[in-house]
């Protein structure tokens, strides 16, 4: 290995690592607010990537259908609840949010898909289609069990991951897709060749991290989420609804997931089940931070990206083995630095 | 003959005849259900009973399958020897993985299992000598007493014999001293530790046990198909195993068979139906499994086994007869030094919960520890019982310093406690709940329990539990579920459980809270009776009326410090106490 390759691998590792870092942040966020270990994060990556790929081919993305179907399912659940509580005044709102809105998005996608709009507009459309699935998933799968133990919520997460992977296969098929790069530019700086794509990825990640920071520090919703993460009961007492906090954190997670998918799609071919491994690499990073620290989670995720880049150079067949085995020293390290008496949860 | 026994007989008869008469396809299905049941049984123990979760069991199945596949094809080693080698390898591996992930709080274990589940899968697929993604073929058939088990029909008997043995030994294990300790893990380790259960060790044991069952299933799989490749050991397979255990539920060991049966048949049917419906091929059954599980966890968290168990009520078992009695420790003479607390201090962050507290009590005494809310009474309790480490000071029990010991090491010295919030296992019988208290008075472990070699000791433990229930007046409720008792009775049950540990000092944390008047009188009566039998009692209580009539002496705490100490009449007229309680009424 010479210096040029070494530097190339660093760039490659940091590019992937930046995406894993975004996912790690979303995972920490969701866990802190809802105690959900959000395994299906990876499916939002897949959905984001493949929805954009469909749009670029001028096809109506299958996720638009999924949004419509999920909307109808949420409508059924919400209507049943509204009728049980005798709250008929909620019905117009429910119909607007979960029937009219998804139908409008569907119509928009159907109209826009064949036009092959500019990349920015396609990205925007992708987000409009995929992100609302986040809060809908929360409403359907998690909200009825919001007080269950972390373990039950985790099993739910794995079940949702299973269902969403299968749905990905239905809507996108078994073929993989790769989208064109955002930028073909290359700059030569001495031995280093910087690609425009990796600058895009790192720039977007950084912008998103700064955006999240501002959201948490300076907006009332961001503060509500932080309050819920610190003390669920206390936040509830001052009027932060846990359902609102849950849906909001899932919306953010879906946004981060879909964006990560859009960023990673030009780098690697994405299949209907690829998101799972991508999301899990974010998890390895998040676990380094004990699922609580944002900066350590991000640093851990960058480390995962670097390790992966070097592993694929030295022993490409064992790339996944090496990355996922990293969790063992991490667990050992955490088990010797964490001291606590395990208390009951249920 | 009751219905449960009839059902068992029908099952065994079916298993004997089925391989002879069923069409080949159904025999194959039955074989798979058997293989999956063995793995799911481990998860029923681990997840359903013990409250731990693993998504990585498929990897252990793979370890068992690849060990025998490689050794029997490359070196011609006998499959019976490779079974032992596979189990040994799994033992070492699971011990290592369990040791590093079980120390951490709940969710690291399942996340860890996903990670190493994926690692091992890719390892199987990339190792040259294991045939890479093509796998290994021409694995020899198993022969038993010279008979080669080379057809699915013959192999069915081997699978279901081993599955039945696994079920039986698991059933035996759960119905034993170790089984009660394992079932106590799920409610949090605090209660179990307080009666001397080494919860960390128990967790490792059930984790390794589940891994060994998975490995056994892998060995069978390899010799049934005579071919292995990495696919059936992927993380998705690991997830399906967990689904089986959740669908079946932990109400009975049969949950494993029911869960494996339902998912296997459903998968077969869906794999046939869905691709035709959708016009493309793929694993679409994942969607149905995922949605089904979400609905099941939302609507029936215990799985479907409870529905079945209720139709086949187990017969009420008479208490095992025994004439032997557990040995009891020597009682201290009345007036001997029992407990002494010297300058104990406990700081939580910036809060001084207990500050330089000292008091002592002697044998045969009921000492009341009272004080307003937040005075630090419960903290003192937790310091004495070893649940919390102190910041400073010393605690002596019968002359021995105990503040450096853990809860588990204090119990065998003769101190037992109850909890402010009752810590019971609601679905277990009253008798079994009480028998947990006697955990340290038995010594037989998991293996003798699985093989039923500990019946004599078990009978003595249960007899002791029954005796203590009689002693506290719950003799009529022995067979009921603990969760069905009224709160007052549950508090009495906790006292019986503490008595089962054969203590000389009993620590009661607000035993009268939430009790009705009659129940309080009965409780006071019981405590007086215990004192007359030579028991020493330290009591934390809020109810003044109850305390004043009962105790010999009182220690009053306020803001973590001792405010007063003395006889009940002295305390009632102590100006400092009145000030603290009534806000200075003159």
Instruction: Assess contact for B249 and B255: CB atoms under 8 A.
Output: yes
Residue among B100, B186, B189 minimizing CB distance to A331:
B100
8 Å CB contact between A284 and A326 = yes
Q: Which residue of A has its CA nearest to B184?
A: A344
What pLDDT is stored for residue B1 in this prediction? 54
Token code pair at residue B241 = 């195993």
> Length of chain A, please?
346
Q: Are A49 and A127 in contact (CB under 8 A)?
A: no
E strands, B106-155, where?
142-144, 147-149
| Residues B534 and B465 grouped into a single domain | no
Cβ distance B290 to A345 less than 8 Å, yes or no, reads no
The pLDDT assigned to A229 comes to 83
Is the residue at B39 inside a domain? yes
Q: What is the pLDDT of residues A5-61, one digit of tens each?
A: 888 888 889 999 999 999 999 998 999 888 899 999 999 999 999 999 999 999 999
CA dihedral for A138, A139, A140, A146, sign (positive or negative)? positive
Average pLDDT score over residue span B370-380: 85
By the CB < 8 Å criterion, does A169 face chain B? Answer: yes
**Rounded distance between C-alpha atoms, residue B440 and residue A126, angstroms:** 62
Rg (CA), chain A: 21
Same domain, yes or no: B470 and B519? no
Buried b (16+ CB within 10 A) or exposed e, B466-501: bbbbebbbbeebbeebbeebeebbbbbbbbbbbbbb
Pairing of strands B351-362, B337-348: antiparallel
In whole numbers, what is the pLDDT of chain B averaged over residues?
A: 89
Asked if the structure places residue A344 within a domain, the reply is: no
Chain A residue nearest residue B274, CA to CA? A170
Asked whether residue A342 carries a pLDDT value surpassing 50, the answer given is no
> Are B405 and B509 part of one and the same domain?
yes
- B297 vs A283: CB contact, 8 Å cut-off? no
Highest mean pLDDT among B206-210, B297-301, B406-410, B563-567: B206-210
Q: Residues A320, A284: contact at Cβ < 8 Å?
A: no
CB count in 10 Å sphere of residue A156: 24
Q: How far is B213 from chain A (nearest CA, A)?
A: 22
Query: Does the beta-carbon distance from A291 to B107 stay under 8 Å?
Result: yes
Residue B6 located in a structural domain: no
Say if A343 is an interface residue toward chain B (CB within 8 Å).
yes
pLDDT at A339 (0 to 100): 52
Are the C-beta atoms of residues B35 and B241 closer than 8 Å to each other? Answer: no
Rg (CA), chain B: 28
Tell me whether B277 touches chain A (CB under 8 Å): no
Proportion of chain B above pLDDT 70, given as a percent: 98
By the 10 Å C-beta count (0-12 exposed, 13-18 middle, 19+ buried), A79 is classed as middle
Please tell me if residue A34 touches chain B, with a CB cutoff of 8 Å: no
- Do both B516 and B582 map to the same domain? yes
Classify residue A80 as exposed, middle or buried by CB count within 10 Å of its CB (0-12, 13-18, 19+). Answer: exposed
- Does B122 contact A at CB distance below 8 Å? yes
- Indicate the pairing of strand B392-397 with strand B553-558: unpaired
A214 touches chain B (CB under 8 A): no
What distance in Å separates the CA atoms of residue B379 and residue B287, rounded to the nearest whole number? 50
pLDDT score, position A341: 42
Question: Whole-angstrom Cα distance, residue B525 to residue B378?
Answer: 24
Cβ burial of A287 (10 Å; 0-12, 13-18, 19+) is buried
B135 Rama sector, left if φ>0, alpha if ψ -120 to 50, beta otherwise: left
Residue that is last in its domain, among B443, B468, B501: B501
Among the listed ranges A138-152, A332-346, B213-227, B440-454, which one has the minimum average pLDDT value? A332-346
Q: Are B63 and B124 in contact (CB under 8 A)?
A: no
A232 occurs within a structural domain? yes
* Statement: residue A340 has pLDDT above 70: no
- pLDDT band with cut points at 50, 70 and 90 for residue A345: very low
Option in A156, A166, A325 nearest B284 (CB): A166
* Beta-ladder partners of A67: none
CA-based nearest distance B26→chain A, Å: 27
Q: Say whether pLDDT at A151 is over 50.
A: yes
Report the predicted TM-score, pTM, of the whole model to 2 decimal places.
Answer: 0.90
User: How many other CB atoms sit within 10 Å of the CB of residue B340?
Assistant: 17
Residues 43-62 of B with CB under 8 A from A: 51, 53, 55
Residue B560 maps to which CATH number? 3.40.50.300
Would you tell me which residues 126-185 of chain B have a C-beta closer than 8 angstroms to some C-beta of chain A? 126
**Is residue A233 within 8 angstroms of chain B, CB to CB?**
no
User: Given B230, B246, B262, which residue is the final one in a domain?
Assistant: B246
Portion of chain A with pLDDT greater than 70, in percent: 97
User: Which range of residues forms the domain containing residue A159?
Assistant: 3-179+187-337
Q: How far is B454 from chain A, CA to nearest CA, in Å? A: 30
Please report whether residue B89 resides in a domain: yes
The answer to whether B298 contacts A342, with C-beta atoms less than 8 Å apart, is no
**First-to-final CA distance of chain B:** 74
Residues B238 and B341 in one domain: no
Is the CB of residue A324 less than 8 Å away from at least one CB of chain B?
Answer: yes
Q: Is B18 exposed, middle or buried (0-12, 13-18, 19+ CB in 10 A)?
A: middle
* A145-to-A87, A152, B283, B333 alpha-carbon distances in Å: 22, 8, 28, 55
B117 and B209 part of one domain: yes
HEC per residue, B429-445: EHHHHHHHCCHHHCCCC
The helix (run of H) or strand (run of E) holding residue A187 is strand A186-189
Is residue B563 located within the same domain as residue B459? no
Q: Is the pLDDT of residue A344 over 50?
A: no
| Interface with chain B: mutation pick from A65, A288, A324, highest number of B CBs within 10 Å | A324
Pairing relationship of beta strands B351-362 and B147-149 according to DSSP bridges: unpaired
B101 neighbourhood in chain A, CB within 8 Å: 331, 335
pLDDT computed for residue B28 by the predictor? 93
- CB count within 10 Å of CB B553 equals 17
Give residues 123 to 142 of A whose Cβ lies within 8 Å of B.
Answer: 140-141
| pLDDT tops 80 at residue B125 | yes
Other C-beta atoms lying within 10 Å of the C-beta of residue A205: 25
Do the Cβ atoms of B72 and B273 come closer than 8 Å?
no
Q: How many Å apart are CA B429 and CA B447, to the nearest integer?
A: 23
Structure tokens that stand for B560 in this block: 């973590």
Is B292 a residue whose pLDDT tops 50? yes
Taking residues B303-326, what's their average pLDDT?
A: 77
Q: Give the single-character DSSP code of A315.
A: -
Question: Average model confidence (pLDDT) for chain A?
Answer: 88
Residue A271 has a pLDDT of 93
Q: Return d(Cα B507, Cα A275) in angstroms, integer.
A: 54
- Exposure of B213 in the CB half-sphere (CA atoms within 13 A): 30
Whether residue B123 lies within 8 A of chain A, CB to CB, comes out as: yes
In this structure, the answer to whether residues B400 and B430 fall within a common structural domain is no
**What's residue B106's pLDDT?**
66
* Cβ–Cβ contact B360 with A under 8 A: no
Please indicate, yes or no, if residue B99 is contained in any of the structural domains: yes
Q: Which chain B residues have a beta carbon less than 8 Å from that of A341? A: 189-190, 387
Would you say residue A246 has pLDDT above 70?
Answer: yes
Interface of B with A in 87-106 (CB under 8 A): 97, 100-101, 103-106
- The CA distance from B395 to B372, in Å, is 23
Q: Give the pLDDT confidence score for residue A45 in this predicted structure.
A: 95
Q: Name the H helices within B281-344.
A: 285-299, 305-311
User: What ipTM score was computed for the predicted complex, to two decimals?
Assistant: 0.90
Which range of residues forms the domain containing residue B550? 334-414+503-586
In a domain, B470, yes or no: yes
CB interface of A with B, residues 254-283, below 8 Å: 277, 280, 283
Domain boundary among the residues B184, B217, B246 is at B246
**Does the beta-carbon distance from A343 to B190 stay under 8 Å?**
yes
Q: What is the pLDDT of residue B586?
A: 47
Q: How many structural domains does chain A have?
A: 1
Helices (H) and strands (E) in chain A, counts: 16, 2
Find chain B residues with C-beta within 8 A of A287's C-beta: 108, 111
B100 contacts in chain A (CB < 8 Å): 328, 331-332, 335
Confidence at residue A346, expressed as pLDDT on a 0 to 100 scale: 35
Chain A residues whose CB is inside 8 A of the B105 CB are: 338, 340, 342
Residues 191-210 in A contacting B (C-alpha not used; CB under 8 Å): none
Residue A178 confidence (pLDDT):
86
**Is A151 in contact with B107 (Cβ distance < 8 A)?**
yes
Chain A touched by B188 (CB under 8 Å): yes
Q: What is the mean pLDDT of residues B476-480?
A: 88
Do B51 and B126 fall into the same domain? Answer: yes
Mean pLDDT value across residues B168-186:
92
- For A199, counting Cβ atoms within 10 Å of its Cβ (0-12 exposed, 13-18 middle, 19+ buried), the class is middle
Looking at residue B581, what is its pLDDT? Answer: 75
Task: Kindly identify which residue of chain A lies nearest to residue B295, measuring between CA atoms.
Answer: A141
Q: Evaluate if residue A191 carries a pLDDT over 80.
A: no
**Any domain includes B23:** no
- The verdict on B492 and B537 lying in the same domain is no
In terms of domains, do B91 and B114 share one?
yes
Residue A57 lies in a domain: yes
Pairing of strands B536-540, B366-370: parallel
Question: Which residues in chain A touch residue B285, judged by CB atoms under 8 angstroms apart?
Answer: 166
Q: Contacts of residue A170 in chain B, CB cutoff 8 Å? A: 278, 280, 282, 284, 287
Are the beta carbons of B100 and A345 separated by less than 8 Å? no
Q: Any chain B CB within 8 A of the CB of A159? A: yes
The answer to whether B264 and B33 are in contact (CB under 8 A) is: yes
- The CB density around residue B56, as the number of other CB atoms within 10 Å, is 31
Q: Given phi > 0 = left and psi -120 to 50 = alpha, else beta, which region is B491?
A: alpha
| B414 φψ region: left (φ > 0), alpha (ψ -120 to 50), beta (else) | left
**Residues 387-406 of chain B whose Cβ lies under 8 A from any Cβ of chain A:** 387
Same domain, B79 and B140: yes
| Alpha-carbon gap: A322 to the closest alpha carbon of chain B (Å) | 8
Q: B144: left (phi > 0), else alpha (psi -120 to 50), else beta?
A: beta
Average pLDDT of the segment spanning B50-62: 92
Q: What total number of domains does chain B contain?
A: 3
Is A343 a domain residue?
Answer: no
CA distance B265 to B284: 15
**CB burial readout B180-209, b (16+ within 10 A) else e:** bbbbbbbbbbbbbbbbbbbbbebbbbbbbb
Higher-pLDDT residue of A215, B250? A215
Taking residues B331-356, report their average pLDDT: 88
**What DSSP string runs through A197-261?**
HHHHHHHHHHHHHHHHHHHHHHSHHHHHHHHHHH-HHHHHHTT--HHHHHHHHHHHHHHHHHHHH
């Amino acid at each position: 290995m010479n210096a040029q390759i070494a530097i190339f691998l660093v760039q490659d590792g940091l590019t992937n690592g930046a995406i894993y870092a975004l996912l790690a942040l979303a995972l920490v966020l969701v866990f802190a607010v809802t105690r959900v270990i959000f395994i299906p994060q990876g499916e939002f990556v897949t959905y984001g990537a493949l929805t954009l790929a469909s749009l670029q081919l001028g096809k109506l993305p299958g996720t638009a259908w999924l949004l419509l179907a999920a909307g109808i399912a949420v409508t059924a659940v919400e209507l049943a609840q509204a009728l049980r509580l005798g709250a008929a005044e909620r019905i117009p709102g429910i119909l607007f949010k979960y029937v009219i809105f998804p139908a409008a998005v569907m119509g928009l996608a159907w109209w826009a898909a064949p036009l092959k709009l500019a990349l920015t507009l396609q990205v925007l459309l992708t987000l409009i289609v995929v992100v609302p699935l986040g809060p809908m998933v929360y409403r359907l799968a998690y909200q009825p069990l919001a007080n269950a133990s972390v373990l039950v919520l985790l099993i739910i997460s794995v079940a949702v991951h299973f269902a969403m992977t299968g749905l990905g296969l239905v809507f996108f098929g078994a073929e993989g897709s790769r989208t064109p790069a955002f930028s073909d530019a290359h700059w030569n700086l001495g031995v280093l060749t910087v690609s425009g794509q990796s600058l895009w990825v790192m720039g977007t990640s950084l912008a998103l991290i700064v955006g999240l920071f501002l959201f948490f520090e300076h907006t009332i919703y961001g503060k509500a989420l932080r309050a819920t993460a610190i003390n669920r009961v206390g936040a509830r007492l001052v009027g932060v609804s846990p359902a609102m906090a849950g849906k909001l954190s899932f919306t953010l997670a879906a946004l981060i997931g879909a964006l990560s998918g859009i960023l990673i799609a030009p780098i690697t071919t994405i299949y209907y089940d690829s998101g799972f491994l991508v999301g899990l690499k974010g998890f390895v990073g998040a676990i380094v931070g004990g699922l609580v620290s944002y900066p350590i989670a991000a640093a851990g995720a960058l480390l995962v990206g670097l390790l992966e880049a070097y592993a694929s150079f030295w022993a490409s067949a064992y790339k996944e083995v090496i990355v996922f085995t990293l969790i063992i020293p991490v667990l050992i390290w955490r088990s010797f630095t964490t001291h606590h008496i395990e208390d009951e949860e249920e | 003959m009751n219905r449960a026994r009839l059902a068992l007989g029908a099952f065994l008869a079916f298993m004997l005849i089925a391989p002879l008469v069923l069409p080949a396809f159904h025999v194959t299905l039955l074989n798979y259900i058997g293989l999956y049941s063995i793995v799911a049984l481990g998860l029923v123990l681990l997840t359903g009973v013990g409250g731990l979760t693993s998504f990585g069991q498929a990897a252990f199945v793979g370890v068992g399958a690849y060990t025998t596949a490689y050794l029997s094809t490359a070196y011609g080693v006998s499959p019976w020897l490779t079974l032992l080698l596979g189990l040994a390898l799994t033992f070492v591996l699971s011990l290592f993985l369990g040791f590093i992930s079980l120390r951490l709080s709940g969710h690291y274990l399942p996340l860890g299992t996903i990670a190493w589940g994926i690692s091992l899968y890719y390892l199987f697929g990339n190792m040259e000598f294991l045939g890479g993604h093509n796998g290994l073929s021409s694995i020899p058939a198993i022969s038993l007493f010279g008979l080669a088990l080379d057809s699915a029909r013959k192999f069915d008997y081997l699978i279901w014999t081993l599955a039945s043995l696994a079920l039986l030994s698991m059933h035996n294990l759960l119905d034993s001293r170790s089984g009660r300790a394992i079932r106590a893990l799920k409610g949090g380790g605090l209660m179990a530790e307080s009666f001397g259960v080494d919860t960390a060790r128990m967790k490792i044991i059930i984790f390794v046990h589940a891994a060994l069952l998975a490995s056994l299933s892998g060995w069978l799989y390899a010799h049934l198909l005579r071919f292995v490749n990495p696919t059936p050991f992927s993380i998705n397979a690991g997830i399906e195993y967990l689904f089986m255990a959740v669908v079946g539920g932990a109400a009975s060991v049969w949950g494993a068979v029911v869960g494996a049966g339902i998912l296997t048949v459903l998968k077969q049917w869906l794999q046939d139906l869905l691709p035709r419906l959708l016009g493309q091929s793929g694993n679409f059954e994942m969607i149905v499994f995922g949605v089904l599980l979400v609905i099941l966890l939302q609507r029936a968290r215990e799985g479907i086994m409870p529905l079945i168990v209720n139709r086949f009520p187990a017969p009420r078992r008479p208490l095992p007869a025994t004439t032997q009695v557990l040995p009891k420790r020597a009682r201290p003479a009345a007036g001997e030094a029992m407990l002494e607390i010297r300058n104990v201090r406990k700081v939580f962050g910036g809060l001084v919960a207990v500050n330089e507290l000292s008091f002592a009590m002697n044998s045969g005494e009921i000492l009341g520890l009272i004080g307003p809310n937040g005075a630090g009474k419960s903290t003192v309790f937790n310091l004495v019982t070893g649940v919390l480490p102190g910041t400073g000071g010393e605690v002596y029990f019968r002359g021995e310093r105990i503040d450096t010991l853990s809860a588990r090491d204090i119990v065998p010295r003769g101190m037992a406690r109850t909890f402010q919030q009752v810590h019971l296992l609601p679905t277990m019988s009253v008798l079994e709940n009480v028998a947990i208290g006697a955990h340290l008075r038995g010594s037989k472990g998991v293996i003798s329990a699985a093989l039923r070699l500990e019946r004599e000791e078990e009978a003595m433990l249960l007899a002791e539990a029954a005796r203590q229930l009689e002693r506290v007046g719950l003799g009529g409720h022995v067979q009921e579920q603990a969760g069905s008792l009224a709160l007052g009775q549950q508090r009495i049950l906790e006292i019986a459980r503490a008595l089962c540990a054969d203590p000389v000092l009993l620590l009661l944390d607000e035993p009268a809270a939430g009790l009705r008047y009659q129940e309080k009188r009965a409780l006071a009566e019981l405590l007086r009776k215990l004192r007359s039998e030579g028991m020493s009692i330290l009591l934390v209580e809020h109810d003044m009326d109850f305390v004043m009539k009962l105790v010999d002496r009182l220690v009053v705490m306020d803001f973590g410090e001792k405010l007063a100490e003395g006889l009940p009449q002295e305390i009632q007229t102590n100006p400092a106490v009145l000030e603290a309680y009534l806000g200075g009424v003159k």
